[in-house]
Amino acid sequence: MMEYVTIQNASLVLFFVGLYGVLFHRNIIRTIISVNVMDVAAILFLITVNARPDQLPPVGPEHAARMADPLPQALMITAIVIGISVTAVSITLFIGLFRKYGTSDWQKIIHRLTR
């Protein structure tokens, strides 16, 4: 059980590292990467929050009482697909901004928009 608590703590630290990157980086690519780090940390936390060391994969009819709940796993697969889609859209928007303004700095783009 101790390894799951350690993984949960690591996922919380990873989430706050990503949050720091979102709040304090001026580069759009670093911001997109930071959002991905936060997404992975949330998925890792939600997978390990209800895990027990004696659980078996939810495949087959034997030992049904010891099987892991398949619902969180299915939801996290969906979250992974959504995260990939958000990343693809973010990179597409970044490419358009870079072609139009020639920079990847948030503040420079905002300054050019407000002129």
Give all domains of the chain, ordered by start, each with its CATH number.
2-53+68-114 (1.10.287.3510)
Rounded Cα distance between 54 and 33, Å, is: 35
Q: Is the predicted pLDDT of residue 29 greater than 90, yes or no?
A: yes
Q: Is the predicted pLDDT of residue 92 greater than 90, yes or no?
A: yes
Rounded Cα distance between 43 and 68, Å, is: 16
pLDDT at site 49: 80
CA 3 from chain centre, in angstroms, equals 21
- The whole-chain average pLDDT of the chain stands at 88
Rounded Cα distance between 36 and 45, Å, is: 14
Rounded Cα distance between 14 and 10, Å, is: 6
Prediction pTM value: 0.83
- Residue 71: how many CB atoms within 10 A of its CB? 10
Q: Is the predicted pLDDT of residue 53 greater than 90, yes or no?
A: no
